[in-house]
Structure 1
Amino acid sequence: MNYRHGFHAGNFADVLKHVVLTRILLHLATKPAPYRVIDTHAGSGRYDLSSEEALRTHEWKDGVARIEQSPLSPAAEELLAPYRAALAGIRALYGPGAYPGSPWFCRHVMRPDDRLIAAELHPPTYQKLAEAIGRDRRCKALDIDGWTALRANVPPRERRGLVLIDPPFEQKDEFTTLSAQFIAAHRKWPTGIYALWYPIKDRRAAEGLVDDITDAGISRLLRLEIEVDRPEAAGGLGATGLLVANPPWRLAAEAEILLPALTERLAQGSRPRYLCEAIRPDG
């Protein structure tokens, strides 16, 4: 599966990933000590939903566009507020077709002493990332492989923060690489928060990822998934997940509010589903 992000920006998988990302960062900010975010596969930082790539797939129409149609429940809207604020901020600067990538969401939530390392190997995409970050001294864009960035930057100097791992899934063995790289990083920094994004086209691959990680003895995991029941004839992605290691203690309760509301709004078929599962929460 090739997940070049320009084709998929703002789709339902992005909505889930970025909503959860903002919630994690807000929880990190409840303590005064600074934190660091390591974004291993950062992409270009911001996207244009009127671009040729986005218009070729129109996936954002069944993602962020649905979220903007009307408010969700009051409880869900309270948790969505930081996501909506970041979206409004980028559109105020770049127009109604702009959509933030994960580095932009991080910059929107980060405090003056917090830091972001954003890695991107693809040269043209890296140039866009560097432009999106600009002169923000809190942030550093690295034109290196994401796995190299992960190995080189954990544990961070701050000893607290988040690693966001969002590979493009261009290689057949990406799930195996994802689990191996995460397990190695966790051994170096077992107290950090990690968020592992994955597509679900092959349910066995997703289950294998979780099995590999739990077999390694890693505990305190929160598994979040949305399946929109996309008709097969449409092709493309129909389900996505995030596996969060060392989740903030309130994140599971927030997910129990957010995921039903998001799943209902983003559903494309008659049998959507969501999963909010704590795995070894007291490990």
Structure 2
Amino acid sequence: MGLSLSADLALRERIMERLAHLRDQSGGTITRAQLTDFELDGERRRLVDASRGIWNPRDLNTTLTIVSSPDGPYDDRQVDQGYFIYAYRAGSTDGDNRKLRAAVEFGLPMILLVKLQAGLFVPIFPVFAVADDRRAHHFLIALDESLRFIEHPQNLSEPLKQYAEHVTRQRLHQPVFRASVIRAYETRCTVCHLQHGELLDAAHILPDSREGGLPRTSNGLSLCKIHHAAYDQNLMGIRPDHVVEINRDLLEERDGPMLRYGLQQMHGSTITLPRRKVEHPDTNALAWRYEQFKAS
């Protein structure tokens, strides 16, 4: 016998609260080991299936976790309307899909795990199954609660479509971008080497509003909150040869230890780069951004 719907929802909320803490500590990722041996209220609980992409705990009324892998066998992708498609398990219309179908009916929140690499995921939650397309053999997944209540998600008006795509970019692309960048820099600020994931951001080099400002690792820098703010405000620049420069006026200020040690002493230092060359910051992007710093 499964839990009542209210108890089911309460358990999911506690799971997600704990999962958010683990995710934030690491800078946006969660490991398979953490998902397999998840601790909640002093008890161990599995959050992912050992081999399948859908996890349906016996005591819950609907699916808890779905996994999307870019190299997996299923056609999981973001759709034009801004909803995420999650394919049926191959060769099956029922089976594991039965509890995911129940998730459409009951509206209980789920966890989407986007695979970054073997054993490492970006958890996105809460997400909601909102439609079951039996003809196309897939479900539509809303990546934000606001998208749950839009009628006819397969046939959106143009304004709603634009809204859904905007929300989905924020809820899917940005967390994956942040996690990818912070993982590449081994969960540390590239300028000051701070290693607390919850205090790190993935800063765009080229803004996402500019052509080429794509959410990919080579267009990002792992920066702590203060260095991210300084970079965005052009109070700190990074040259194409990876040397840090601090705004001249800021260098001459006399304020306190945060200014002195947090910013002024970074002037002339060299940033720490990812181990993999393919993940190094794009030189042309750094050059463009450095010109913006000098012009300011």
Q: Which category of TM-score, normalised to the shorter sequence, fits these structures?
A: under 0.3
Q: Which has the bigger relative contact order, CA under 8 A and spacing at least 6?
A: 1
- TM (norm. structure 2) is 0.24
Greater helix proportion = 1
